[in-house]
């Protein structure tokens, strides 16, 4: 077997072992209905977290469903869609919710959801919460689309960069490529030069990573400063 082939196999084995060893999950109460996990539809009460995301940042959207008695009558409560964002590591987390025993409790939860998040040692975790709201008819909602729009905003629990920042950096990267007369193939590390409105997020990510790796330390520092503006 040729040396470069052996190195390739070893790298793949190391990557596979690394993926097997990394595990994290979020346990939700049975009274919750999971809507989205990191932008993807999910209905699981035990959510597998993706630690390959930038900074391990997770975003879970869910509803709280509860039953309570009011004047001898049983009422059902389904909350607004709550968004939970937190930074995860390789361990198990538990979401806690307050009891809903009355219409007043239900109204209070929708007004200001009282959430709790603890890790497997019982330590209280920091998190950010918000609600995914839509006016009008609630039937047939496209939560994935709503969540994508939410993450393109400056909302407090968003996990994606602001669209304006992405477009500004993508345009700058394309300008550099154009000035240098860069000709790239479709299977290259950098995508073909396109109009800003035609660029996908995957292409933006590859472009930014390519030019960041090409930059010296000073330029990389300036690059980071622009993102944080």
Contact 178, 193 (CB under 8 A): yes
In a domain, 4, yes or no: no
What 8-state DSSP symbol labels residue 150?
H
The answer, yes or no, to whether residue 41 has pLDDT greater than 80, is yes
In a domain, 189, yes or no: no
pLDDT of residue 160: 62
In a domain, 172, yes or no: no
More confident residue, 87 or 181: 87
In a domain, 90, yes or no: yes
When divided into structural domains, the chain yields a total of: 1
In a domain, 176, yes or no: no
DSSP-derived pairing of the beta strands 116-119 and 128-132? unpaired
Distance CA 113, CA 157 (A): 14
In a domain, 99, yes or no: yes
Tell me the whole-structure pTM to 2 decimals.
0.62
Domain that holds residue 123: 25-134+141-166
| pLDDT tens column, 174-188 | 665 555 554 444 444
In a domain, 186, yes or no: no
In a domain, 18, yes or no: no
Minimum mean pLDDT among 9-18, 42-51, 216-225: which range?
Answer: 9-18
| pLDDT tens column, 148-176 | 999 988 899 998 644 444 555 555 556 65
Coil, helix or strand at residue 80: coil
| pLDDT tens column, 57-66 | 999 999 999 9
């Amino acid at each position: 077997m040729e040396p470069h082939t052996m190195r390739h196999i070893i790298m793949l084995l190391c990557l596979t072992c690394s993926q097997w060893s990394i595990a994290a999950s979020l346990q939700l109460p049975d009274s919750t209905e999971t809507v989205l996990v990191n932008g993807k539809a999910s209905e699981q009460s035990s959510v597998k977290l993706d630690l390959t995301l930038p900074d391990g940042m997770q975003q879970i959207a869910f509803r709280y469903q509860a039953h309570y008695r009011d004047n001898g009558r049983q009422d059902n409560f389904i909350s607004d869609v709550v968004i939970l964002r937190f930074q995860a590591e390789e361990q198990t987390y538990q979401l806690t919710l307050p009891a809903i025993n009355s219409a007043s409790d239900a109204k209070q939860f929708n007004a200001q959801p009282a959430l709790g998040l603890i890790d497997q040692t019982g330590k209280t975790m920091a998190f950010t919460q918000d609600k995914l709201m839509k006016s009008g008819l609630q039937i047939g909602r496209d939560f994935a689309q709503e969540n994508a729009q939410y993450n393109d905003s400056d909302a407090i629990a968003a996990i994606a960069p602001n669209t304006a920042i992405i477009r500004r950096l993508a345009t700058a990267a394309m300008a550099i490529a154009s000035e240098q007369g860069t000709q790239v193939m479709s299977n290259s590390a950098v995508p073909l030069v396109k109009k800003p409105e035609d660029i996908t997020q995957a292409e933006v990510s590859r472009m930014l990573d390519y030019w960041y790796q090409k930059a010296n330390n000073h330029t990389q520092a300036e690059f980071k400063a622009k993102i944080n503006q």
